[in-house]
A and B are shown apart, each in its own frame.
Chain A
Amino acid sequence: MSEELVLDEFETDAVGELLNVAVSRSAVALSRMIGQTVAMSVPVVRMLPRDEALRTIEGGRPSSLIAVGEQFSGPFSGSALLVFPELRSLRLVQAIVGDGMSLEDIAELAEEAMTEVGNIILNSCLSGMANMLGCRIEATLPSCYQGTGEQIFRRTIRDSHDGSILFMSIDFSIRNRDVGGYIVLILDLNAINNLREALAGYAAGLMEPKPGNGNANNGGVNAAG
């Protein structure tokens, strides 16, 4: 059982590649939105137990974090979180709205801006997954959370969660400013299994999208391949 909850090295690498493609797609979206070049990468993807994920996010001490979360469902369900230390999230927003504003004024629109940035990034990750799995993933509107990692996890991960946590760091570079955060995908059991299957197919070069429950309007999706 526990073995099944873990992706092996190859699978993890494959997810990493996939998400890098997805994230660079959102970089394009962000660049277009703010009229500046945005570069994004997902250097490391790991499967982590909840506690370790929490420790990594908090970076050793409980500090204030900002998270944007979405829940998704379908053949592939769970929730997705984009997490930044609050200070860095302000940097990110400052990078987005430009230097002309003081941190104080930025703080006022930080939540809105973060929500939106999270929305863009998480959506592209999810649609990347959906494309690969050849299914639809329906996601809620993003919500913004603020607090320590523990508080955020408690509000976004069910206590009874028995699935896995796909954990990755994400690096941004906007206006010569580097901002680092984390993407956390909390996958339900079914999702892991579906993901492994899809990855197996992916590995076998089966790029045929599986019949999902929607019309497979998957235009440029196979760019991932």
Chain B
Amino acid sequence: MPPGDLGADTAFDPAPDLPEGPTPPSAAVLLRCLEGLDMGVVIVDARAAILYWNHWMSRHSGVPRRSAVGARLEALFPSIAQGRLAGAVEDAIATGLSAYISNSVNASLFPLLRNDGIVDEPVAQSIVVRPVQVNGATGCLIQVFDESASVARERKLREQRNARYHAVIEAAQDSFVTIDESGIIQWINPAAERKFGRRLDDLLGSHVSLLLPAACDASAFDGGLTEMTLVDVAGRAFDAEISTSHWTSNGVRCHTLFIRDVTERNQAAEELRQSQRMQSLGKLVGGIAHEFNNLLMVIRANVELLKSDLGDAELRDFADEIAQAANRGATLTNGLLSFARKQPLRPETLALADVVEQTLRLAAPTLGALVSCKVEQEGGTLHVEADRTQLQNAILNLLFNARDAMPLGGSIRIVLASDEEERFCRIRVADTGLGMPPDVLERACEPFFSTKDAGRGTGLGLSMVMGFVRQSGGRFELESEPGRGTAATAWLPRVRAAAAAREGGAEEDTPPPLPPRRILLVEDDPQVRSAVQAMLGGAGHAVTAVEDGFEALELLDAEGFDLLVSDVVLPRGMSGALLAREARLAFPGLPVVLMSGYNELDPAMTAAITESVDILRKPFSRPDLERVMRAALVAR
């Protein structure tokens, strides 16, 4: 075949540039070059019969030239009749059109094998078909390019790129969902597959509202961070925080949604909010209780004065009634304060069994005949460091709850034990009552939570217990099962026997009255001041009363006093604690008693008070006052 014929006179395919110069290569040279090409070259004539079949084609197709030449393509390779190649050859011959046929979209091209002696993989090929003048008529030139190497390279690059990307994406705990502008899901990561229980394959091409019902299209995610409620594979609703990144690939704007389950975080925030609310409520309650204590103080002190002056027994009974009412009021404010964890605790070393014993004796009448109660102690005598009254109160609360849970009777079992490290004493109060369903159990310790009728329960019991135990450095736990009873357990800091031994018996003796002393009283509330002054005066002491710390210091300087009794909260910026410290600096060894309405003593203040200051909790009675004064005076 004369080489000049190749590609001649096709309008857009000018004759190949033959080397210029005097002697163009001969036809034989050109033919050898065609044979040596690293691509397939096939020429067919106007009847679509093969005219030329180069060596590369023979090698990769397994069809030698002598079989190929003269045959029609479809006859040699029936499979290509199905594909585009046959049509393209026809178009080229009939009309003069050219065609490009790529491996990426066509399945049936030439059945060629790599034939490289290592593996027999198919050749990834792309084909160009052009009309060409052959022997005076239009035939067609078919060029076959081997794309195997570039296909392999691309695949490898893609895998490399994807590997790094997937390492990040697949390890992620958050769900990633990629959608296009119209909201069609393009991709999701394994975390999302797990979270929603859907496979990527099933979701491809689906609309994103399948996973995020609230999302109509991608525009829902243009506003940065959004939160919505979604449903996971288990049907559980969860709070999802969704951040979005936009990117454009080949003109397509895509959105990748990063979906984080923030249910737990939101819960924690809600709990924090709740506890902050409780805290401010506590502050409020504490403030009110403080005011109340001052009032009760006045009432109580005056009733006592009244009683000592009254000869008439009947009138004294009236006075007693008033005193009792004041006492009940004091118990109430105490309850409020312990909820606010603000009641001033007076921790002392207590023999646990004794306290429990005394408490049971107090409670026995109210427990009723249908409720039996027994105490077990594991190991030797246990001592705790706690406020006696509050501990009694706590145990009483637990006993009453147990009683209320056993309307038809039952038994209460109290077990006292030590933990293994001997750091805590465990007080466990178990009943055989109705128990609590989980939702009640969860809320039982909340202040004001009660399932009891209005008037029967305030809902402060357990929150008080909890507040007291925690404030004492312990912890509190409730276990309960409906129908099987409830066990409440409190752990309180344990005191070793050696330390406990120092706390001798001689507690309950009534000591002789104190000899008269010169006392400086500092209190800003005029009523409380005069009440306490009367109390002290009634006991025979010489009392000078002033309103604030500065006056007090001046007086201390001018006159001699045996004892300073001061309120904790004082005006003009000098608190009782400060006054105590200043007074001590000027008069070392001066006994000081501080009166406190509630736990105004914040840690900073407490640090400012030297150990030998005694705290007297308002409202107090004369014996209380006597006891604390004695302690203060004796300590000197």
A interface residues with partner B (beta carbon < 8 Å):
29, 32-35, 63-64, 70-71, 73-74, 85-87, 90, 96-97, 99-100, 102-105, 107-110, 112-113, 115-117, 119-120, 123, 126-127, 130-131, 136-142, 214-215, 217-219
Contact = CB atoms under 8 A, between A and B. Distances in A.
Given A86-B250, A107-B249, A113 B102 contact: yes
Interface in B239-268: 249-252, 254
Nearest to A73: B11
**Which of A99, A113, A115, A116 has most chain B Cβ within 10 Å?**
A116
A73 to B, nearest CB: 4
B87 A29 contact: yes
Interface in B94-110: 94-102, 104-107
B98 A115 contact: no
Contacts of A127: 91, 94-95, 97
Nearest to A28: B87
B93 A217 contact: yes
Contacts of A140: 12-13, 98
A119 B84 CA distance: 11
A156 to B, nearest CB: 14
A120 B84 contact: yes
Nearest to A221: B94
Contacts of A139: 12, 96-98
A141 B46 CA distance: 20
Secondary structure dominating the interface of A: helix
B221 to A, nearest CB: 17
Interface of B: 10-13, 46, 82-84, 87-88, 91, 93-102, 104-107, 126, 128, 130-131, 137-138, 154, 158, 180-181, 186-187, 201, 204-205, 249-252, 254
B246 to A, nearest CB: 14
A127 B252 CA distance: 34
B100 A116 contact: yes
B105 A138 contact: no
A215 B87 CA distance: 18
Nearest to A85: B251
B131 A138 contact: yes
Contact of B46 (A73, A90, A215): A215
A215 B137 contact: yes
Contact of B97 (A87, A107, A123): A123
B106 A33 contact: yes
Contact of B104 (A100, A103, A113): A113
Secondary structure dominating the interface of B: mixed
Contact of B130 (A90, A99, A141): A141
Given A99-B204, A102-B187, A74 B11 contact: yes
B580 to A, nearest CB: 76
A116 B204 CA distance: 26
B96 A74 contact: yes
Contacts of B137: 215
Contacts of A29: 84, 87
Given A73-B12, A215-B137, 7 more contacts: A87-B180, A87-B181, A102-B186, A109-B105, A116-B84, A116-B100, A116-B102
Contacts of B138: 136, 214-215
A37 to B, nearest CB: 15
30 contacts: A33-B105, A73-B12, A74-B96, A87-B251, A99-B204, A102-B187, A103-B186, A107-B249, A108-B154, A109-B105, A112-B104, A112-B105, A112-B126, A113-B104, A116-B105, A116-B106, A123-B95, A127-B97, A130-B96, A131-B95, A138-B95, A138-B131, A139-B12, A140-B98, A141-B100, A141-B130, A142-B98, A214-B96, A217-B94, A218-B94
Q: Which 6 A-B pairs have the closest CB atoms?
A: A86-B251, A138-B96, A64-B251, A107-B250, A109-B104, A140-B12
B176 to A, nearest CB: 13
A64 B154 CA distance: 25
Contacts, number: 131
Contacts of A113: 102, 104-105
Nearest to A127: B95
Contact of B83 (A32, A85, A218): A32
A115 B252 contact: no
A173 B97 CA distance: 25
Contacts of B254: 103
B628 to A, nearest CB: 81
B538 to A, nearest CB: 93
Contacts of B201: 100
Nearest to B180: A103
Contacts of A64: 251
A119 B12 contact: no
A141 B251 contact: no
Contacts of A103: 180, 186, 249-250, 252, 254
A142 to B, nearest CB: 6
A113 B98 CA distance: 16
Nearest to A93: B105
Nearest to A141: B98
B101 A116 contact: yes
A126 to B, nearest CB: 6
B273 to A, nearest CB: 43
A30 B250 CA distance: 24
B12 A138 contact: yes
A110 B205 CA distance: 18
B100 A142 contact: yes
Contacts of B11: 73-74, 138
A131 B97 CA distance: 13
Nearest to A129: B95
A119 B100 contact: yes
**Which of B10, B46, B97, B154 has most chain A Cβ within 10 Å?**
B97
Given A29-B84, A103-B254, A141 B128 contact: yes
A195 B94 CA distance: 19
**Which of B180, B249, B252 has most chain A Cβ within 10 Å?**
B252
B304 to A, nearest CB: 88
A138 B93 contact: no
Contacts of B180: 87, 103
A64 B250 CA distance: 9
Contacts of A35: 107
A137 B205 CA distance: 41
Nearest to B98: A141
B205 A99 contact: yes
Nearest to A77: B11
Contacts of B249: 103-104, 107
B489 to A, nearest CB: 58
B537 to A, nearest CB: 93
Contacts of A87: 180-181, 251-252
A1 B355 CA distance: 120
B98 A105 contact: no
A110 B100 CA distance: 14
A178 to B, nearest CB: 13
Contacts of A63: 251
B100 A115 contact: yes
Contacts of A131: 95
A64 B252 CA distance: 9
B186 A137 contact: no
A219 B46 CA distance: 13
Contacts of A218: 94
B96 A115 contact: no
A35 B10 CA distance: 33
Nearest to A86: B251
A109 B106 CA distance: 12
A73 B95 CA distance: 11
A177 to B, nearest CB: 9
Nearest to B99: A119
Contacts of B251: 63-64, 85-87, 90
